[in-house]
Amino acid sequence: MRIAELSRLSGVPLPTIKYYLREGLLAPGRATAPNQADYSAAHLHRLTLVRTLVEVGRLPISSVRAVIAAIDEQQLSLHDTLGVAHDALPPARPPAVADGDLEAALADVNHYIERLGWTGSATSPARHTLAHALVSLRRLGRDCGPEVFDLYARHAEQLAAREIASLPANGDRDRTVEEAVVGTVVFEAALTALRRLAEAHHSAIRFG
């Protein structure tokens, strides 16, 4: 198909598609004339993936590029690809300026993750996110340790076990990787939205 058709089918504006092409997020089409290229269903699918990462996952373009590169890197094991994808997902903030409270919280979080027996994420930015959350609670006056997260850790553990188990065992690597990345991004947005809707429900019952 021509680029205009790709734009129509994907709902992505033409200038955005051209931007993705320049940024290498989308492979060039097959040249059919000096100024014309042909795009396939694979292009449409990749465009939809990029759009999902940007719109649902709210990833900045630099992170989308890292995730796409990891998906396309055939030499990377599935676990390592998921690691790259995870680390690129927001919130992936750089460590804050030197902050003793945050460093202490990070040490607490690292011990906590160790006690949970969770491996495979030694350098994950998610640990910093958790430390940041813990420091914020303490600064707002709660005298708490990382066990304040116990309830959430339990639910997260149950969800993750089901999610990873549901990935196809001997499927096509590319499809499995994409499914895992999409699952993390899309169901994270869904889980967050559902928690708020459920909170609104229980708040209406109790306080409405």
Task: For a copy of itself, give the closer residue by CB, 19 or 187.
Answer: 187
Could you say whether residue 153 binds a copy of itself (CB under 8 A)? Answer: yes
Token pair listed for 63: 């992170």
Write out the binding residues for a copy of itself, residues 67-96 only, by CB under 8 A. Answer: 77-79, 82-83, 86, 89-91, 93, 96
The closest alpha carbon to 105, from 60, 165, 61, 148, belongs to: 148
Task: For a copy of itself, give the closer residue by CB, 75 or 119.
Answer: 119
Write out the binding residues for a copy of itself, residues 164-183 only, by CB under 8 A. Answer: 164-165, 167, 178, 180, 182
Select from 2, 8, 30, 155 the one that contacts a copy of itself (CB under 8 A).
Answer: 155
Could you say whether residue 59 binds a copy of itself (CB under 8 A)? Answer: no
Q: Which residues are CB-contacts of 11 (< 8 A; sequence separation ≥ 6)?
A: 51
Write out the binding residues for a copy of itself, residues 12-41 only, by CB under 8 A. Answer: none
Token pair listed for 205: 């019952």
Task: For a copy of itself, give the closer residue by CB, 34 or 94.
Answer: 94
Could you say whether residue 45 binds a copy of itself (CB under 8 A)? Answer: yes
Task: For a copy of itself, give the closer residue by CB, 22 or 139.
Answer: 139
Select from 15, 33, 34, 151 the one that contacts a copy of itself (CB under 8 A).
Answer: 151
Task: For a copy of itself, give the closer residue by CB, 31 or 45.
Answer: 45
Write out the binding residues for a copy of itself, residues 118-147 only, by CB under 8 A. Answer: 118-121, 124, 126-127, 129-130, 132-133, 136-137, 139-141
Could you say whether residue 107 binds a copy of itself (CB under 8 A)? Answer: no
The C-alpha atoms of residue 68 and residue 128 are separated, in whole angstroms, by 24
